[in-house]
Chain A
Amino acid sequence: MLVGFITAGDPGPDATFDIAAALVDGGVDIIELGIPFSDPIADGPTIQASSLRALNAGVTPPMVLEMADQIARSLNVPVVILTYYNPIFKMGDERFLKLALRSGVSGIVVPDLPPEESTGYRKFAQKEGIDTIYLATPSTNPKRLSNIVSATKGFLYVVPLFGVTGARESFDAYSGRVVREIVGKVDRKVPVAVGFGISKAEHVRSFVDQGADSVIVGSAIVRTIERNLNDRKKMLNELEGLAKDLSSIRTS
């Protein structure tokens, strides 16, 4: 499956639904909607800039959940929210999760909320039926991985490299080994999605070959949006083309 990430409300709140629709038309299976945050420490320059555009356009967490609602219902695709923890914390775990559930959100990824800090949040989310998606990285040791695999629901988000988000030209052989090793240890307990850096169909193929069930593409999509800020029609065409190209490698 192909997961497509966009920063919600970039370049403006009115663009997000059309962008999601173009991605879905091109073959994206799951939309991952990012809540823009002032201090995105796990993100590279592309997503930093998109967060800033969305914040400057006045985008707030409740607005993002409304966009999620519209996308999930009208396009009939699962929507996953990606957010740093502070916007959730500020609203309150329970209030945020209830609102997300009402908005048809299937799962939530919080890159700065490790399992150790989220016992209460996780319990509540899982009771409400929202997937809590956790990450595994090259530095995750076997003991942590087994805890993370028990905590994650929906899928396990595997980061195949040391670094922040950002489209890459190529991956070291190391990244493939990381994915294969984690896939082996997960042992089909939960689907594995690989994300960070993926920008080309050949990357998709190589991670699928290593056993990934899904791939997540973010910066390559956001970069396409950024390149076409003044021409919405061209933006949507290129996004659909990119999605077609990336989804030409079907994972199953």
Chain B
Amino acid sequence: MKFKEFPKGGKFGRFGGQYVPETLMPAVQELDKSYRKFKSDRNFKAELKHLLSNYAGRPTPLFFAGNLTKKCGGAKIYLKREDLLHGGAHKINNTLGQALLAKRMGKSRIIAETGAGQHGVATAMACALLGLKAEIYMGSEDVRRQNLNVFRMKLLGAEVHTVESGSKTLKDAINEAMRDWVTNLPTTYYLIGSVVGPHPYPMIVRDFQSVIGEEIKKQFRSITKGYPTAAVGCVGGGSNAMGTFYPLLDTPTKLVGVEAGGKGLGTGQHSASIGAGTEGVFHGMLTYVLQDEHGQVKETHSISAGLDYPGVGPEHSFLHVEKRVDYVSVTDDEAAKAFLELSRAEGILPALEPSHAVAHAMKMAKRMKKDESLVVTLSGRGDKDVGIIADYLGENI
């Protein structure tokens, strides 16, 4: 199957689609049209490329993690250092692209949801840079565990709305952002932070994040003339993983998405939508959803706010059923352990989200041959998470 040809008619196989209120239908259709127009526009591409290199700091290094490789004693482990980008995460790749698009569409007000706060920060940055007004929705539970990012957003000139409904995390922030969008449609652009939501968002976010995988391909070719044996990324909504995987879909590279296993899939306290969910319609898309037998969406748990989401990008659901990508999960404990191991082995503090990918990559590397190679996308840096790790270790800082 030619995986790269999707979405077709707004769908990845049966997944995706546009399950949104009528008010939003003309808006998502207009967005689809505008995006297709600007995607191939030479000025748009040049401006985005300029900002990605000179503002965000691309390309990011592909770093050979020699110490970690030695420790695992198997495949060579490479880290794609998205944590070194401006803002400290891969999110800026997407927010610059969409903010430029919003500006060209004549929108002056940007709204966004955020979980860990990284997308909120990246949105606030792009909006400050391009002279747009940013308003960010964030669940009160996430505001509490990521308060540093809340203040960063405010410093960058964004307004932060605390969401008290439901589980008070990412899914509720998206609900509230959608309600805002329905209310303020004529002036407002909804800048979604992951490969989720109604078409064309999963495609747009994937395309803007694909710079990760394109660079990996190019950088790897200059090292070995081939492709990595495997590539691993963490999956909440799944934007850094999708950006890593998409350019590699038609190569022999084995692709692995790592979901948040929380306290274990058997406990019900996790965010593994593909691993333990069923097909459902949620946030405008048909995809795997953590839900009960009556279609009520469940509350989720993860040590990392950025993975704490009961759905997943529809393209991931598609790649799962087509068996092109393997989806696994890693528990809170394993992720915290990987956080500590990478910090000590390489002097890199990873965010808790990619710590899930690092944990699984280490397991894989041990089982792989020494002449094989594995790329892990380090989607963000761990500074925002040191408080959570201190709590986890029972230390006061």
A binds B: yes
The residues of A with any CB-CB pair to B shorter than 8 Å are 37-44, 48, 55, 60-61, 85-91, 111-114, 116-117, 134-141, 144, 148, 159, 162-164
**CA of A42 to CA of B178 in the docked complex: distance in angstroms?**
8
* Any A CB within 8 A of the CB of B171: yes
- Cβ–Cβ < 8 Å partners of B297 in chain A: 38-39, 86
Tally A-B pairs: CB < 8 A: 110
Closest to B22 in A: A135
Contact yes or no, B295 A91, CB < 8 A:
yes
Contact yes or no, B295 A114, CB < 8 A:
no
* Any A CB within 8 A of the CB of B321: no
Contact yes or no, B22 A85, CB < 8 A:
no
**CA of A87 to CA of B292 in the docked complex: distance in angstroms?**
10
- Cβ–Cβ < 8 Å partners of B298 in chain A: 38
- Cβ–Cβ < 8 Å partners of B379 in chain A: none
Number of residues on chain B facing chain A (CB within 8 A): 39
Closest to B26 in A: A139
Contact yes or no, B22 A61, CB < 8 A:
no
One of A38, A60, A91, A134 near B22 (C-beta < 8 A): A134
- Cβ–Cβ < 8 Å partners of A37 in chain B: 295-296
- Cβ–Cβ < 8 Å partners of A42 in chain B: 21, 179, 182
Interface residues of B in 304-328 (CB under 8 A from A): none
Q: List 27 A-B contacts (CB under 8 A).
A: A37-B296, A38-B166, A38-B298, A39-B166, A39-B171, A40-B175, A41-B182, A44-B179, A61-B294, A89-B279, A90-B291, A90-B293, A90-B295, A112-B19, A112-B20, A112-B281, A113-B19, A114-B18, A114-B19, A116-B18, A117-B18, A134-B22, A137-B23, A139-B24, A141-B26, A159-B23, A163-B183
Q: Known: A39-B175, A164-B182. Is A89-B22 also a contact (CB below 8 A)?
A: no
* Any A CB within 8 A of the CB of B276: no
- Cβ–Cβ < 8 Å partners of B22 in chain A: 111, 114, 134-137, 139-140, 144, 148, 159
For residue B96, give the distance in angstroms from its CB to the closest CB of chain A: 27
Q: Mark B179-211, 1 if CB is under 8 A from A, else 0.
A: 100111110000000000000000000000000
**CA of A60 to CA of B282 in the docked complex: distance in angstroms?**
18
Interface of chain A, main secondary structure = loop
* Any A CB within 8 A of the CB of B13: no
- Cβ–Cβ < 8 Å partners of B280 in chain A: 86, 89-90
Contact yes or no, A86 B295, CB < 8 A:
yes
* Any A CB within 8 A of the CB of B73: no
- Cβ–Cβ < 8 Å partners of A44 in chain B: 179
- Cβ–Cβ < 8 Å partners of A162 in chain B: 23, 182-186
- Cβ–Cβ < 8 Å partners of A163 in chain B: 182-183
For residue A132, give the distance in angstroms from its CB to the closest CB of chain B: 13
* Any A CB within 8 A of the CB of B165: yes
- Cβ–Cβ < 8 Å partners of A61 in chain B: 294-295
* Any A CB within 8 A of the CB of B233: no
Which 3 A/B pairs are nearest by Cβ-Cβ distance? A90-B295, A87-B295, A86-B295
For residue A52, give the distance in angstroms from its CB to the closest CB of chain B: 8
For residue B188, give the distance in angstroms from its CB to the closest CB of chain A: 10
**CA of A147 to CA of B325 in the docked complex: distance in angstroms?**
39
* Any A CB within 8 A of the CB of B284: yes
* Any A CB within 8 A of the CB of B51: no
* Any A CB within 8 A of the CB of B128: no
* Any A CB within 8 A of the CB of B72: no
Contact yes or no, B295 A89, CB < 8 A:
yes
Contact yes or no, B294 A60, CB < 8 A:
yes
Other A-B pairs, 19, CB within 8 Å; known A90-B295, A114-B20, A163-B182:
A37-B295, A38-B166, A39-B282, A39-B283, A40-B175, A41-B178, A42-B182, A85-B19, A90-B278, A90-B280, A91-B295, A111-B21, A111-B22, A112-B20, A116-B18, A137-B21, A139-B185, A141-B26, A164-B182
* Any A CB within 8 A of the CB of B17: yes
Interface residues of B in 249-276 (CB under 8 A from A): none
* Any A CB within 8 A of the CB of B345: no
Interface residues of B in 285-303 (CB under 8 A from A): 286, 289, 291, 293-298
One of A38, A60, A85, A148 near B281 (C-beta < 8 A): A85
